[in-house]
Each structure stands twice: as C-alpha cells, then as structure tokens.
C-alpha cells in the first residue's frame, strides 16, 4: 500500500444492491449510506472513501474480501488503464440485466409512487462489439479516445470491445491534429462511415472511404451535403446526418421497435392515427409502418432526415417542440409514441401527450428517475401503467433504456 492509499479512510462493508449510476449501495453500522463504485450485491468489500457527508458517503472498492459468484474479470485492458467508458464490466451480463430491472422498479416505487408494476428485462442483445456511434476526445498527439474515469483527460484507443469493428478501424487508422472532439458514426449494415470533427475538420487523416465533416459546417438548420450515413433497421433504410440522433446499434433499434409495438397493444400502427413525439429521423414511424399521423421533432437536422425517410407517407413532419405543437390546437390520435431526451417528458410533455386523447401510449425513457416522474404524471392525467420492457442498448454500463406501455383509463 502506498502512502497516498494509506491516508484514504477505509471501511469494510457488505454491498446490498446496484443503484442508478452504477454504484452499489451499502450501509455503515451507523446507518449511513455508502455508494460504492466497483462492488456487486452481496460482496464484502474494503472501501476507500472518496466523499463523506453526514448521511451519505461515496467510495471505491479497494479490496474484494468476499466476491460475488457473478463477478467476472473485465476483459478490456483500457479499463485497467483508467477508461471511464464502461462501469459494469466486472458483472455478468445476467446480473446487469436483473439489476437494471430492479433500478427501474425502485424508481417507480420511490419517485413515482407506483408499486407492483410488471417489468420485463427484455430481449437479449450481444454485450460486445455493438456500438455504431462513439463520441471521443482527442489527446495532445491527435489520437482519439475516451475520457479517463472522473477526468477530462483522454485515453487514446486503437480498439474498444463494445464498439463495432467499423468504429475500431476508424480509431486505429485516424489522426486528428488540433481537434478537441470527434464523433465516429457508422452504418453497421451499409458499411458507411462518418467522422464529425470539432471544432473543425482541419488536416485530419482517416482510412479510405470515411467521410469527414467539421462540426462548424453543421449549423443545425439542415444536413450538410454528403455528411450522412445510412442504416438498415427492420428492413427499412434510414438517412442519418452528422448532426442527427439515432440509436447506437441497429439490433437495439429493432428491439426498441418491437417493444414499442408490444406497448401499443391492439392498436395497429398501419391503420391508426399515430403521433410520433420527439420522433428523431423517423425510426418508429417508418419501422412500425405508420401511414397516417404526425412526427414532431425540434432538431432541424433530424427533422430534415425524417422528411427524407418518410417520403410517400401521409405523415406530417413538424419541426418544432412538442409543447408548441400541442398548444397549437386540439389533437385526436389513436396512439402516441414518445421518445424524449434524458430529462423525460416533464410536466409540459405529459400535458402534450394527454392532450392527444390517445388510448395507448408507448413511452421510451433513458433515465429511471425521469421515467418514474413521467409515469406519475401520466397516471395523474388519466392513464394507467400496463407494464415496462427494458431494452439493453448499453451493456457493460449502468445506462437503462425502457419502453413503458400506458392505457387511457376511461374515456
């Protein structure tokens, strides 16, 4: 033990359960809660405390005294070097999936005051070599990589075990002098590759066939010519521009579509009038086969892609906020699909959904607390929770994606 390590307060604890954010909750004999990074449920660990307050402390595992049978050796060498990209590689995939279901149940009960909600852990998705979008920092030598844990310092990478092989090829074969950040986006099923370089492209070096565009050329009002990749999801082809959002793996996008279809119950998207709120480039409208309705997306680049992807359908694309669209006039829809940003619908978004009068709502959430708040709001607005299905888009991390089904309770 080094002098620095010996000066850090340490305590031996038994970890209870994984919580939102990836840490494991433990308790001191006094009852104070300690959030422990690197621990797993049931383990006895020696913890080096990093933060201390009266009712809450945080710390890192210094030593595993009694290991969980679901602990595994992280296979990524970058993790041992300090990479902050993955925080659950030390847990089996089965434990990760079960823990995420427990985190959602806890949030619904504690924040949303909704207990006994049916939660399905969802379909199995390959936990390795899946990410088709990777946002990277750039080090002083012009090499791309991920940030160190709890730091803005960049750890240069030639490969990442959760990244798609096409992304790895870009990481290993590129040089970005003078850049601060790069986003690598690939079409796993088309082979197309794009790098967005911030603040500007400059004299970058990338493998043959990789498109490059500077972030300064993407002003957010419209896609830059040529700065896009295409992806195939559910046999549908999507244009995704450099400034647009899309799910980070096509098989995960397909799992999301299937979960949303199940959430809509007996509503047939091909014949129903559907509102696709926060609709992005049109994933759900296109893949569900929606023929009539509206897609609302405030990001100009995504809205422009949606118009391209929805060509030939009787679906109106509204490039505005959901709240502004909802206030414009009364809307009557059979179903709503809502996929808001991490903060969730919020009170105004809940009101917008309720204003549609839709009998069935599929809510896609990427934060358990936001899901719980939105679920409480929709219940208060007259809906009941039918169930929650998780979609494990981000294995090896604590991030949770959930599709929740709501049904209008009464007229």
Catalytic positions are: 366
Peptide bond into 327 cis (omega under 30): no
User: b/e per residue, 171-195, with b = 16+ CB within 10 A?
Assistant: beebebeebebbbbbbbbeeebbbb
Q: Name the pairing type of β-strands 292-296 and 314-318.
A: parallel
Q: How many CB atoms within 10 Å of residue 10?
A: 14
Alpha helix stretches (DSSP H) within 264-338? 283-287, 300-309, 322-328
CA distances from 23 to 18, 34, 38, 41, 45 (A): 6, 9, 7, 10, 13
Distance between CA atoms of residues 400 and 124, nearest Å: 14
Under DSSP, is residue 264 helix (H, G, I), strand (E, B) or coil? Answer: coil
CA distances from 398 to 100, 121, 278 (A): 7, 14, 24
Phi, psi of 168 (to 5 degrees): -60, -40
DSSP 334: S
DSSP 158: S
Cα first-last separation, the chain: 67
Under DSSP, is residue 15 helix (H, G, I), strand (E, B) or coil? Answer: strand
Full 3-state SS string of 98-153: HHHHHHHHHHHHHCCCCCCCCEECCCCCCCCCCECEEEEEECCCCCEEEEECCCCC
Reading the block at residue 220, the tokens are 């957010």
């Amino acid at each position: 033990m080094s002098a620095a390590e010996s000066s850090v307060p340490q305590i031996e604890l038994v970890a209870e359960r994984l919580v939102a954010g990836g840490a494991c909750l433990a308790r001191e004999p006094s009852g104070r809660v300690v959030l422990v990074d690197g621990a797993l449920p049931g383990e006895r660990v020696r913890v080096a405390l990093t933060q201390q307050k009266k009712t809450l402390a945080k710390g890192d595992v210094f030593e595993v005294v009694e290991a969980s049978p679901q602990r595994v050796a992280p296979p990524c060498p970058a993790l041992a070097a300090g990479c902050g990209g993955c925080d659950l590689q030390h847990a089996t995939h089965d434990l990760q999936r079960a823990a995420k279901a427990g985190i959602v149940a806890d949030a619904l009960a504690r924040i949303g005051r909704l207990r006994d909600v049916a939660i399905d852990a969802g379909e199995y998705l390959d936990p390795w070599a899946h990410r088709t979008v990777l946002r990277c920092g750039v080090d002083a030598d012009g090499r791309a990589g991920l940030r160190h844990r709890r730091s803005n310092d960049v750890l240069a990478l030639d490969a990442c075990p959760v990244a798609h092989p096409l992304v790895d090829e870009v990481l290993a074969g590129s040089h970005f002098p003078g850049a601060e950040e790069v986003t690598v986006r690939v079409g796993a099923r088309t082979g197309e590759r794009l790098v967005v370089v911030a603040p500007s492209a400059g004299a970058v070096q990338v493998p043959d066939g990789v498109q490059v565009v500077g972030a300064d050329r993407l002003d957010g009002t419209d896609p830059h010519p040529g700065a896009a990749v295409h992806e195939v999801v559910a046999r549908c082809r999507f244009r995704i521009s450099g400034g647009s959002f899309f799910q980070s793996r096509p098989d995960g996008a397909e799992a999301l579509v299937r979960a949303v279809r199940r959430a809509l119950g007996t509503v047939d998207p091909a014949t129903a009038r559907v509102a696709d709120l926060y609709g992005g480039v049109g994933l759900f409208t296109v893949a569900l086969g929606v023929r009539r309705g509206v897609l609302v997306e405030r990001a100009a680049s995504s809205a422009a892609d949606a118009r391209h992807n929805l060509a030939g359908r009787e679906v109106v694309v509204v490039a505005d906020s959901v709240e502004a669209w909802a206030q414009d006039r009364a809307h009557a829809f059979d179903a709503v699909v809502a996929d808001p940003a991490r903060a969730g619908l919020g009170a105004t978004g809940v009101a917008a959904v309720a204003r549609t009068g839709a009998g069935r709502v599929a809510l896609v959430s990427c934060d358990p607390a936001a899901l719980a708040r939105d679920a409480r709001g929709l219940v208060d607005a007259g809906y009941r929770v039918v169930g929650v299905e998780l979609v494990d888009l981000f294995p090896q991390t604590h991030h949770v994606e959930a599709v929740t089904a709501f049904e209008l309770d009464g007229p």
